[in-house]
Structure 1
């Protein structure tokens, strides 16, 4: 997807060309761009890969017909169905034409007919109405900032942060979320006043008034059908999803050795016999290393496979650059993905798209903690169990590591658990309730991070497991076919039982966590101390949120092997590096 930024004037005399120039400055550079000005708005599109750009491609994203104007950026996956809904008289083929015609026929509710990975803007001058939206699951990112005068928006945080049009301040609620779950709730970012537009919603501005309206909700609709029927449908549907998302030359794919990436590599290899795949490998035993399974899939499918071995030296080398390019503190898993993306770009300079398996865990019961919830491993109801499984620090730990008064400042009037609890339904199977909460909360956030990681190396991520036909099929498959005999993704494993090596299908999911606890014992101990404390171990310069002695004790506890605190140390370290980058020298509290 090409990059996008723009504004809508809510009050005042009309559009200011300097606003659009300020927004696109950080993403345009020497890349081809196209500006589309309106009476009270302006949008700029910027080519992602100038060397492969087609003449007029940006112009094809825009259409004006009388009082209506539309910008559509991304992929429309159900063009044939949309044409049928519009009727035989409609012969348009370009997505922006179909979207505009759908709005003409059905008004804002036309959004529910659109399937794909996209961002759209629509103006209706007869109603004084402007609409911003992105796809239903959040495969395409869109961020916005609203004040009394105008709405600013962009497909990446960079244009908003670098424009000079927004006074940047840390978001204290997001920090509380981060220290609790390591990701923001409520589609906030780490910057106060800048949010991701929630998937499935419309941002409406009419006569200067802004309103965020939910237009689509995911819902489970289980149907009891024969297992063989679901197996066959899964095979066909995933194959079609790969075909629909395989629209750019020279795709590459992640291949961790897990089930999701192995299925994608298998299906892609039928379309691209010379498919290049990449895996990050941490050779610290079976708790970290799935490379054996990745190698088996590569041999089985005749892939051109490359193993990447990130090490502690890569943390020292890449972390400052990663913080600057991803704009927010991120988990150690994001670092692992970032190193593989960098290597994929270096090894495959012509690559334009990378296939990723996001969505499979949520839709098919893949996370190990879903099984824990079914077994009542943790005390309390489902939201409380999910909190105990996902939480980074307990309230008691947070009080211990934060300076006096700061815990109350962050958590005194805000409870991340109470907000998190709202994402869980009150009825239905435990698996469906837990997965639905992740589909509405964690998944959109992780898609943002995946987009930023690949955007940093000019790769466009492709998410076949988010394809609408896969999504709708997963909604029909009963929970008992997703987790069976202690194994997640059971029906997905059965669907490809004859196509992949048996031990690849049956091994337990590992994930792609960085061995940070091991590295902070020795190779990264001095780096972490220097980054956190500088020359003065008695204070954390510029970051008066934490108690230095408590953070130092965490490092020593991890170093001596009394507890593995790598995840917690990583979280504080990344927050410190991020805070220094954007607010260096300014007291956090």
Structure 2
């Protein structure tokens, strides 16, 4: 796990100043405390920050091929590198290190861009071929590792692992993209198709770019996708046996490290499953880490302790206190772009705890997307069946009118909160699911925006790319399309961004065994009844794990990392919310109607409504703008 940076002159082969690359590396020292290297040649420069995990004494980067014709900087882990190494040695490749970086170089020399499909793991890398004068930028299938690019006014391309590294280049302009503000206000993060800085681009998951000097820059090429259009014909028992085999393989392949290794443990199904399989495969007690809250209704540490006791792990726990809200400035700097997933705070805290004991930690990320574990996916499954039965011409007017008349009841028990379901049913399947994911609904955003910002935004709506993604999905059903969108949009934009930034902020490598691409491809072929039964998601996964985990762990309601932001905005963050309206950076942008934001604050602090999610968005946007102006 590392950080990379580089410069490529698309027009000609002008010299690259190594100091520029050093500046980009210096902006993110947390990504590589164990080594730093820079290499330049006419028209190209590569930089690398190393967090040593495998082959600790060897594998320095930038790394050259044995004949000196290829240079590589690489962030991530290739879990099948030993198998590839043996295959390549049989073809005549000679290796001088014991790590996975050199395997990528040899794979490129033998298979070209086809080498990507042979790499199993998480990765973002830049590879320069001196003979072909070609730069390959590539990102792993699910987008576990980031790769960000920007084209400068002189036509050169810069790239890095984090936005702060690009901002260290003096030629990059810092104009805010107003469409990214619309995206952020809808989703709570800036999705991968956009960046908060105009002209900055994120290489999409499962894509590569091949660049040559004096040749027009190529668009990203997709080299992997997940297909939900096929269904397995095997029986439930056989599929369960195959799932368990794939789970074991995914977990054990990610336990290879030359440094201390452990796991995050929340006490939920996913992290508990990973810990159970690690304990089965390990000769030593697994090191586990969990974070709790000093608000009992949000605390899961009791469940985590039960799993730790059951599998005899070496367990560490810590509590996030109400004063942790004071860390939001550091949180904003960590992400560069505005990021309003409040679970980032406890995720960062558990990463800090883990780093005190290990250098690598396995997580349970990905199971909800792959196996339909989100409640919204179960709702989508049932709503799609109703949509198939009742045509849009009937649904639209009927459920639209009922939804408009039904009170929000955000404070009420779930069965009484029917308004969202009614409004969802009045729309298409894709539009309804987009509404289920948005943090601040379109009608609320329109009230919050100023007339000037609405003109800047024009006809663009944040939901449109999401809806189009669902409609283009290789899928059969509404559930398929929902999972596809979660894997392609929500997972890289929110979950994996959160895990990468918070773990790398403390120089910890996080690994996601449940995002093994073979496991994802297997899950996409499962019959819907083995994914969702009634309102129970991840049905086959839970059934398979019965042999390891107790029923109340498998089937208890999903909590996730919930932060008590609603209480914070009525207490310690009350003044911070008011400051946004009074004299904050946001007020000076002219993007928002400050009276509308004040009304949002009043409604929350008086107890009339819970608007904390939108307030958290606005606060994180404010903090992010402050950080970007200072970076």
TM-score by length of 1: 0.91
CA-CA distance at 1:204 after TM superposition: 1.5
CA-CA distance at 1:43 after TM superposition: 1.1
Structure 1 partner of 2:490:
442
CA-CA distance at 1:568 after TM superposition: 0.8
Structure 1 partner of 2:544:
495
For residues 143-187 of structure 1, give each alpha carbon's deviation from its aligned partner in whole angstroms, at most 9, with x where no partner exists: 111234311111222211233331212221111111112122343
C-alpha distance 39-217 of structure 1, shift in aligned 2 (>3 A) = same
C-alpha distance 66-322 of structure 1, shift in aligned 2 (>3 A) = closer
Q: Distance in 2 between matches of 1:54 and 1:185?
A: 35
For residues 79-103 of structure 1, give each alpha carbon's deviation from its aligned partner in whole angstroms, at most 9, with x where no partner exists: 3654576583345565444433433
- Give the secondary structure class of the aligned counterpart of 2:547: coil
C-alpha distance 247-156 of structure 1, shift in aligned 2 (>3 A) = farther
Structure 2 partner of 1:278:
289
Structure 1's unaligned 5+ residue stretches are: none
Q: CA RMSD in A?
A: 2.6
Structure 2 partner of 1:315:
325
- Give the secondary structure class of the aligned counterpart of 2:105: helix
- Give the secondary structure class of the aligned counterpart of 1:184: coil
Aligned length: 575
Deviates more, 1:487-496 or 1:549-558: 549-558
Structure 2 residue 337 is the aligned partner of structure 1 residue 328? yes
Structure 2 residue 2 is the aligned partner of structure 1 residue 7? no
Structure 1 partner of 2:412:
none
For residues 484-506 of structure 1, give each alpha carbon's deviation from its aligned partner in whole angstroms, at most 9, with x where no partner exists: 13210000001110111111011
**Superposition pairs for residues 129-208 of structure 1, below 5 Å?**
129-147=134-152, 148-208=154-214
Structure 1 partner of 2:388:
none
**Preserved contact between residue 267 and residue 303 of structure 2 (Cα < 8 Å):** yes
For residues 340-394 of structure 1, give each alpha carbon's deviation from its aligned partner in whole angstroms, at most 9, with x where no partner exists: 223333xxx2410122112111110111100111121422222111122112223
C-alpha distance 250-102 of structure 1, shift in aligned 2 (>3 A) = closer
Structure 2's unaligned 5+ residue stretches are: 384-420
- Give the secondary structure class of the aligned counterpart of 1:210: coil
CA-CA distance at 1:285 after TM superposition: 5.3
**Preserved contact between residue 61 and residue 96 of structure 1 (Cα < 8 Å):** yes
Structure 2 residue 149 is the aligned partner of structure 1 residue 102? no
Structure 2 residue 43 is the aligned partner of structure 1 residue 57? no
C-alpha distance 559-306 of structure 1, shift in aligned 2 (>3 A) = farther
**Preserved contact between residue 297 and residue 501 of structure 1 (Cα < 8 Å):** no
Q: Distance in 2 between matches of 1:386 and 1:26?
A: 38
Q: Distance in 2 between matches of 1:244 and 1:42?
A: 33
C-alpha distance 304-102 of structure 1, shift in aligned 2 (>3 A) = closer
**Preserved contact between residue 245 and residue 462 of structure 1 (Cα < 8 Å):** yes
Structure 2 residue 430 is the aligned partner of structure 1 residue 383? yes
For residues 55-87 of structure 1, give each alpha carbon's deviation from its aligned partner in whole angstroms, at most 9, with x where no partner exists: 333148432536444444432223365457658
- Give the secondary structure class of the aligned counterpart of 2:111: helix
Q: Distance in 1 between matches of 2:232 and 2:492?
A: 26
Structure 2 partner of 1:473:
522
C-alpha distance 78-468 of structure 1, shift in aligned 2 (>3 A) = farther
For residues 501-556 of structure 1, give each alpha carbon's deviation from its aligned partner in whole angstroms, at most 9, with x where no partner exists: 111011121221212112212232123323x245x69x955343222222122122
**Superposition pairs for residues 391-406 of structure 1, below 5 Å?**
391-406=438-453
Q: Distance in 1 between matches of 2:302 and 2:35?
A: 43
C-alpha distance 119-62 of structure 1, shift in aligned 2 (>3 A) = farther
Q: Distance in 2 between matches of 1:241 and 1:231?
A: 15
Structure 1 partner of 2:400:
none
CA-CA distance at 1:126 after TM superposition: 4.2
**Preserved contact between residue 64 and residue 70 of structure 1 (Cα < 8 Å):** no
**Superposition pairs for residues 532-543 of structure 1, below 5 Å?**
532-533=580-581, 541-543=587-589
Structure 2 residue 572 is the aligned partner of structure 1 residue 569? no
Structure 2 residue 227 is the aligned partner of structure 1 residue 219? yes
C-alpha distance 431-61 of structure 1, shift in aligned 2 (>3 A) = farther
Structure 2 partner of 1:46:
49
Structure 1 partner of 2:531:
482
